[in-house]
Amino acid sequence: MTSNGPPPDHVVPDQGPDSGTDEPRLADNLTARSTWLRLLFMILFMVLWSVSRLVVLAVIVVQFCWVLFSGQTNQRLSAFGLSLAIYSYQIVAYLTFNTEDQPFPFADWPTAAPDHSSRAETTVD
Protein backbone atom coordinates (compact mmCIF):
# COMPACT_ATOMS: atom_id res chain seq x y z
CA MET A 1 0.00 0.00 0.00
CA THR A 2 1.46 3.35 -1.03
CA SER A 3 0.34 6.83 -0.22
CA ASN A 4 1.03 10.02 -2.07
CA GLY A 5 1.34 12.12 1.09
CA PRO A 6 4.53 13.24 2.85
CA PRO A 7 6.41 10.72 4.99
CA PRO A 8 5.35 10.55 8.69
CA ASP A 9 8.50 12.35 9.88
CA HIS A 10 8.06 15.23 7.46
CA VAL A 11 8.11 18.68 9.09
CA VAL A 12 5.75 21.17 7.53
CA PRO A 13 7.54 24.49 7.00
CA ASP A 14 6.31 27.51 8.90
CA GLN A 15 4.01 29.61 6.73
CA GLY A 16 4.65 32.82 8.67
CA PRO A 17 6.33 36.00 7.42
CA ASP A 18 9.79 34.36 7.58
CA SER A 19 8.79 31.28 5.60
CA GLY A 20 11.23 32.16 2.82
CA THR A 21 14.29 31.41 4.96
CA ASP A 22 15.94 28.00 5.22
CA GLU A 23 16.96 28.47 8.87
CA PRO A 24 15.96 25.66 11.24
CA ARG A 25 13.32 26.48 13.78
CA LEU A 26 13.95 26.30 17.52
CA ALA A 27 11.30 23.61 17.91
CA ASP A 28 13.13 21.46 15.35
CA ASN A 29 16.41 21.90 17.22
CA LEU A 30 14.84 21.05 20.57
CA THR A 31 13.26 17.87 19.29
CA ALA A 32 16.22 16.67 17.21
CA ARG A 33 17.31 13.27 18.47
CA SER A 34 20.88 13.84 17.26
CA THR A 35 21.30 16.90 19.50
CA TRP A 36 20.23 15.03 22.64
CA LEU A 37 22.33 12.01 21.69
CA ARG A 38 25.35 14.28 21.30
CA LEU A 39 24.68 15.68 24.79
CA LEU A 40 24.86 12.15 26.21
CA PHE A 41 28.15 11.53 24.40
CA MET A 42 29.47 14.87 25.64
CA ILE A 43 28.69 13.93 29.24
CA LEU A 44 30.48 10.60 28.73
CA PHE A 45 33.53 12.32 27.25
CA MET A 46 33.61 14.91 30.06
CA VAL A 47 33.83 12.03 32.54
CA LEU A 48 36.56 10.34 30.48
CA TRP A 49 38.44 13.65 30.21
CA SER A 50 38.32 14.02 34.01
CA VAL A 51 39.70 10.51 34.43
CA SER A 52 42.41 11.19 31.84
CA ARG A 53 43.55 14.21 33.85
CA LEU A 54 44.13 11.92 36.85
CA VAL A 55 46.07 9.50 34.66
CA VAL A 56 48.20 12.41 33.37
CA LEU A 57 48.99 13.31 36.98
CA ALA A 58 50.04 9.70 37.64
CA VAL A 59 52.26 9.71 34.52
CA ILE A 60 53.89 12.94 35.68
CA VAL A 61 54.65 11.57 39.15
CA VAL A 62 55.93 8.21 37.89
CA GLN A 63 58.06 9.81 35.17
CA PHE A 64 59.57 12.24 37.67
CA CYS A 65 60.41 9.42 40.07
CA TRP A 66 61.88 7.41 37.19
CA VAL A 67 64.14 10.32 36.22
CA LEU A 68 65.02 10.92 39.86
CA PHE A 69 66.17 7.35 40.45
CA SER A 70 67.50 6.28 37.03
CA GLY A 71 68.72 9.56 35.56
CA GLN A 72 66.81 9.20 32.28
CA THR A 73 63.25 9.23 31.02
CA ASN A 74 61.22 6.07 30.52
CA GLN A 75 60.54 6.01 26.77
CA ARG A 76 57.45 3.80 27.01
CA LEU A 77 55.95 6.07 29.64
CA SER A 78 56.86 9.07 27.51
CA ALA A 79 55.10 7.55 24.48
CA PHE A 80 52.04 6.78 26.60
CA GLY A 81 52.04 10.36 27.91
CA LEU A 82 52.11 11.65 24.33
CA SER A 83 49.21 9.43 23.27
CA LEU A 84 47.30 10.54 26.37
CA ALA A 85 47.90 14.17 25.41
CA ILE A 86 46.58 13.49 21.91
CA TYR A 87 43.55 11.74 23.41
CA SER A 88 42.85 14.73 25.68
CA TYR A 89 43.09 17.00 22.64
CA GLN A 90 40.62 14.81 20.73
CA ILE A 91 38.14 14.94 23.62
CA VAL A 92 38.35 18.73 23.91
CA ALA A 93 37.96 19.12 20.13
CA TYR A 94 34.79 16.99 20.26
CA LEU A 95 33.38 18.79 23.31
CA THR A 96 33.89 22.21 21.73
CA PHE A 97 32.21 21.16 18.44
CA ASN A 98 35.44 21.45 16.46
CA THR A 99 34.98 17.90 15.19
CA GLU A 100 32.25 15.31 14.91
CA ASP A 101 34.76 12.45 15.24
CA GLN A 102 34.31 10.72 18.56
CA PRO A 103 37.51 9.72 20.36
CA PHE A 104 38.29 6.40 22.06
CA PRO A 105 36.33 4.16 22.90
CA PHE A 106 34.46 4.86 19.64
CA ALA A 107 37.72 5.11 17.68
CA ASP A 108 41.18 3.61 18.00
CA TRP A 109 43.45 4.79 20.78
CA PRO A 110 45.73 7.52 19.39
CA THR A 111 49.30 6.48 18.74
CA ALA A 112 52.16 8.70 17.77
CA ALA A 113 55.86 8.13 17.77
CA PRO A 114 57.56 10.67 20.02
CA ASP A 115 59.41 13.34 18.07
CA HIS A 116 62.81 13.44 19.74
CA SER A 117 64.02 16.32 17.59
CA SER A 118 61.72 18.84 19.27
CA ARG A 119 62.47 17.94 22.86
CA ALA A 120 65.70 17.32 24.68
CA GLU A 121 66.39 14.00 26.34
CA THR A 122 66.25 14.32 30.08
CA THR A 123 69.44 13.15 31.70
CA VAL A 124 70.81 13.89 35.11
CA ASP A 125 74.51 14.73 35.31
Q: What is the pLDDT of residue 13?
A: 55
Does 118 have pLDDT greater than 50?
no
By residue range, what is the domain housing residue 44? 33-95
Q: Is 113 within the bounds of a domain?
A: no
Over residues 46-55, the mean pLDDT reads 95
pLDDT in tens, 56-81: 999 999 999 999 999 999 999 999 99
One-character DSSP codes across the chain: ---SS--TTPPPPP-STTTT--PPPHHHHHH-HHHHHHHHHHHHHHHHHHHHHHHHHHHHHHHHHHHHHHSB--HHHHHHHHHHHHHHHHHHHHHTTS-----TTSSPPP-----TTSSPPPB--
Q: Is 108 within the bounds of a domain?
A: no
Higher pLDDT, 29 or 97: 97
In total, how many domains does the chain have? Answer: 1
Over residues 89-109, the mean pLDDT reads 91
pLDDT in tens, 31-48: 878 888 999 999 999 999
Q: Is 13 within the bounds of a domain?
A: no
Q: Is 83 within the bounds of a domain?
A: yes
CA 116 and chain centroid, separation? 26
Q: Is 100 within the bounds of a domain?
A: no
Higher pLDDT, 70 or 24: 70
Q: Is 22 within the bounds of a domain?
A: no
**Average pLDDT score, the chain:** 81
**Greatest CA separation found in the chain?**
84
Q: Is 60 within the bounds of a domain?
A: yes
- pLDDT class of 122 with cuts at 50, 70, 90: very low
Q: Is 19 within the bounds of a domain?
A: no
